[in-house]
Amino acid sequence: MGYLFAQPNLTSGIDDALISTAQAVPIFPIMILVFIFLMVLIGGSSNQKRKLGTADIPFWAVLAGMATTLLALIMTLGEGIIDLTTLGIVIAVTIMCAVWFFLSGVRGE
């Protein structure tokens, strides 16, 4: 069975595998960033709703944005994983989530 792209060389390190996968499938790093954002947002807010009865969605959006920004900054260290346009979009989403959080008001804290 033939593969759609050449399998990465895993003996040279995980960063080379990520770089070669990102070059073969350009949407792959973006999917990882969206997955991390949604996992932090949905997981944190649903856990808070289960424990407290309410969920502070703007707070979890800021936390998800910060986690995604940190991961995106780390991914920029490997050349070819993500570009500066993607990093700019991630930072813009984080800033928008922070503005939403600060404009939503403090809820009893």
3 assigned to some structural domain: no
12 assigned to some structural domain: no
15 assigned to some structural domain: no
53 assigned to some structural domain: yes
Count of other CB atoms within 10 angstroms of residue 104: 13
pTM: 0.82
Q: What average pLDDT score do residues 35-45 get?
A: 96
Q: What is the pLDDT of residue 6?
A: 66
Calpha distance 1→54 (Å, rounded): 51
pLDDT at residue 108 greater than cutoff 60 = no
2 assigned to some structural domain: no
Closest CA to 102 of 66, 70, 62, 63: 62
Read off the tokens for 50.
């289960």
Question: What is the CB-side half-sphere exposure of residue 68 using CA atoms within 13 A?
Answer: 30
pLDDT at residue 86 greater than cutoff 80 = yes
How many domains in the chain?
A: 1
User: What range does the domain containing 66 cover?
Assistant: 26-103
